[in-house]
Amino acid sequence: MAFDFQPQTKITANEFGAVPATSTEQTKAAVLNLRPSPRFYYIHHPDSWHCLETEDGFEWFPILKCFRLMPGVNGVRQTRGKNPKADDRQARVTLADRGFTIIPYDAIEGGYCWKYTGRQGAVYLERWAVPKQVGNRTIIKSDTKGLQAFCRHLIEAGFIEKPDPDLLNILKDSLKQSIERDSANLHMPPAAKRHSENLRRLEGMDEATAAIYQKPKKTTKKKAKKVEQ
């Protein structure tokens, strides 16, 4: 099931001729002044979650990591022949054995790994990393809202399972310990400020936990009214 993503930033990646990583399309566009980087997959481990504050309050989000397909690293091999490529078959098995979930490219329309033309070779960036070239300097802007929308979709569509309740309790207990440590130093402005913020975050964690396990509301279709003739 693909997610139709609409960029939240005013700058579009296609100003630089970006194409999905799996595309063979060739474009003539501006060249990024960045070093070459290998293609990657998003991976997620069940114990990697964090609670972030959004416009709608606090929410639990999965922490996505980029697994770079670099031959000779993390079990990625290289095929033989005239045009050698990265062979990630063994790496995928290893990741699965370690409990990681590999997010498929088709989880979103057009993929989440985008390929750009760089001065020294191909540059692969996350879809949410929107480049801007200013002279010889390349500035990367992050589309945070777009990434968060994608993470919500991964949970709702079943690509990533909801976090284990016991794990969230462990993360909350860790924050409680920080609150307790600061409680003895409330006379110090930095500790008092951190204490107040952590109390607010702890309350936000409870709200986010209740929200993520809340059953989706069933939508009932309205019956069409009969038109009297």
Q: Residue 149 to residues 38, 62, 104, 153, 154: CA-CA distances in angstroms? A: 25, 12, 16, 6, 9
Per-residue pLDDT for 3 more than 90? Answer: no
Query: What's the confidence (pLDDT) of residue 220?
Result: 47
SS3 of 122, please?
strand
Q: How far apart are CA 115 and CA 134, in angstroms?
A: 20
The CA radius of gyration of the chain, in Å to the nearest whole number, is: 22
The listed range with the strongest mean pLDDT (9-18, 80-89, 175-184) is 175-184
Please give the average per-residue pLDDT across 78-106, as a whole number.
Answer: 90
The 10 Å Cβ neighbour count of residue 36 is 11
Region 207-222: mean pLDDT is 73
**Structure-token pair, residue 152:** 């919500």
In this prediction, residue 133 carries a pLDDT of 82
Torsion angles phi and psi, residue 25, rounded to 5: -65, 140
Residue 227 pLDDT exceeds 50: no
Rounded Cα gap, residues 171 and 165, in angstroms: 10
Q: Is the pLDDT of residue 5 over 50?
A: no
- Phi/psi region, residue 25 (left: phi>0; alpha: psi -120 to 50; beta: rest), is beta
